[in-house]
Structure 1
Amino acid sequence: MKFSVFTASTPDWSPTEAAQTLAEQGWDGIEWRVVDDRPADGAEVPAGRSFWTGNRSTWQFTGIQDQVGEIARITDAAGLEYSGVGGYQPVSDLDGVDTMLRVTAELGARQVRVTMPHYRQERERTGATYPQLFDRTRADLEWAAGRAAELGVKALVELHHMTITPSASAALRLVDGLDPEHVGVIHDLGNLVIEGQEDHLAAFELLGPYLAHAHVKNARWVDTGDTRADGSAIWQNEWAPLRDGQASVSDYLDALRQHGYDGWVTIEDFSTDLPLAERTADNLAYLRSLVPVAA
């Protein structure tokens, strides 16, 4: 396995700082976040949302075609590989997806995430039922798969809570029958703590050739102390350090090995218990202790 970091989780660093620091720490690769993320003029970045707002390691989607050379220069200078590209373009935005696929091909990054619809938001916005949203998304993904094939890259569907693909079973329904050379699934350990949990080995076997990538973070559920009108407790999820969440990273990597997976494992740690540089260094040390370099 090879280890990389998704720069959504490195908000304090510029792209150059992110690449250089991760390379010095011994990471194999980097997964760049690409999305329009600029605070309004004069607005302060809320500390609790710095991963998602004003993240300095983000490449802006607008004008991204003009940044390909700079992305390549920074990545190559650090000696890092691309584990993929962390795109945010909705699968329904065909022009946006086409842009991300082309940028991925130009970088030689091989694969890029396209985002799946958020079920509740889309139902409230359009009135579409899950089957209607699923069918529409399948048609869009078929288009993306064809375009990815033309460009020699792969479009990735992430297992993500609140979307129409929170589990391996749901994702397989969506991608089944498409060419796994050009459409794949990102299995995400931390997201599954929130929604979509299935036995990991069973999920890997179910996905088969569609298992294209693995994201690792951790999460936990905590009692808020509040109750609903009926008296039942209200719980909420929060991100946690790799060792401290409800999921076992060790068991997860073991299941990947049992399945024969030897691809990228990308860390996106959104906990804040440790300062960023300590957090990334500690995460790599932890991963290496579970998967020695010689393995």
Structure 2
Amino acid sequence: MMKIVGHTMGTPESTVLEAIDLFAGLGLDGIEIICADDYRCGVNLAASPSELNRIRQRAVDAGLVVAGLVPYAKDMNHPDAGARAQAVAELKGAVDIADALECRAIRVFGGHEVAPAEQGRALGWLAESLREVGEYAQAAGVQLNIENHMDTMATSAEMTMAIARAVDLPTVGVLYDQANLAFMNSEVFEMAIALQGPRIQHVHVKDFYWRGTERIAAVLGEGIMPWEMIVASLNDLGYDGFYSLEYERRWFPDQLPPPAIGMRQSLDFLRGTSP
């Protein structure tokens, strides 16, 4: 049975505690929480132990697992060693927050996107930084998952795997986001899944369509993403991790209905894609 969680990107008008209540009411299995200082429905990087415990306990009481934490550090491949060290420290702090929430995975960016001539050097810095964070996370029992994402070095499945191989830790995997790959005109889902295969530890699920050259966010099933086929391919792979509804209301509030409506529709659609 699919394990489907809600992402707090979908609930910008709510607090994390309110999002937990909403997701439980929708019948979701868990929550993925943004970790940032500038977002209402996120965990502050300087959150107190008591605040983290309130979130953890509310999730437990609601029957939800905290399936992922989503920090935004990107300077892991910055040319300046001090900037890299600061990003590493931020990600280690996110690991500590995840551990306090009994969350066993965090999303990480593949650094900043760089020019082709700089990729070799930048990949070395990125791998070194993520290896340090990965070893720290491994000791806490927390997985790092590199997301297929624009404006990073992980703009394709091929490059995401190159980063994961360069880090070379069993607890550093892939956060598979086919909608991002489609937006970036990278690999189609068959190739993305074949390339990333057993490294896929978490999946972001969202939809969109094109209006001319403009990308429009959509409720799941109302856009261009072939989620029935993607889920079938992941089932064939033996994937049994979380599917996270990354409902993009944080960025596109005028394009998507409120989460109580749109996330429910998305959940119903996603459940219908798998036996």
- Write out aligned runs for 1:1-295 (5 A): 1-37=2-38, 55-63=39-47, 67-90=51-74, 91=76, 92=84, 93-119=87-113, 129-176=118-165, 178=167, 181-195=170-184, 197-223=186-212, 235-270=213-248, 272-291=255-274, 295=275
Distance 1:236 1:207 in 2: 29
- Are the counterparts in 2 of residues 88 and 115 from structure 1 also a CA contact under 8 Å? yes
* One-letter code aligned to 2:245: I
* Structure 2 gaps, min length 5: 77-83, 250-254
Secondary structure of the 1:243 match is coil
Show CA shifts across 1:218-261 (max 9, x none). 123332xxxxxxxxxxx233322222222212121111112111
* One-letter code aligned to 2:227: V
* One-letter code aligned to 2:19: A
> Taking structure 1 as reference, are residues 9 and 197 closer, same or farther at Cα in structure 2, changes over 3 Å only?
same
Secondary structure of the 2:248 match is coil
Secondary structure of the 1:290 match is coil
* One-letter code aligned to 2:192: A
> Taking structure 1 as reference, are residues 72 and 204 closer, same or farther at Cα in structure 2, changes over 3 Å only?
same
The CA deviation at 1:214 is 0.4
Report the TM-score when normalising by structure 2: 0.86
Distance 2:216 2:48 in 1: 32
Moved segments of 4+, more than 4 Å: 177-180
Distance 1:5 1:116 in 2: 23
* One-letter code aligned to 1:114: V
* One-letter code aligned to 1:22: F
- Identical aligned pairs, as a percentage? 26
Report the TM-score when normalising by structure 1: 0.81
* Structure 1 gaps, min length 5: 38-54, 224-234
- Are the counterparts in 1 of residues 109 and 146 from structure 2 also a CA contact under 8 Å? yes
The CA deviation at 1:196 is 5.1
> Taking structure 1 as reference, are residues 105 and 273 closer, same or farther at Cα in structure 2, changes over 3 Å only?
closer
The alignment yields a C-alpha RMSD, in angstroms, of 2.1
> Taking structure 1 as reference, are residues 194 and 22 closer, same or farther at Cα in structure 2, changes over 3 Å only?
same
* One-letter code aligned to 2:160: A
- Are the counterparts in 2 of residues 213 and 265 from structure 1 also a CA contact under 8 Å? yes
- Are the counterparts in 2 of residues 89 and 96 from structure 1 also a CA contact under 8 Å? yes
Higher helix proportion (structure 1 or 2): 2
> Taking structure 1 as reference, are residues 111 and 163 closer, same or farther at Cα in structure 2, changes over 3 Å only?
same
Distance 2:193 2:32 in 1: 22
The CA deviation at 1:140 is 0.8
The CA deviation at 1:137 is 0.7
The CA deviation at 1:171 is 0.7
The CA deviation at 1:177 is 5.6
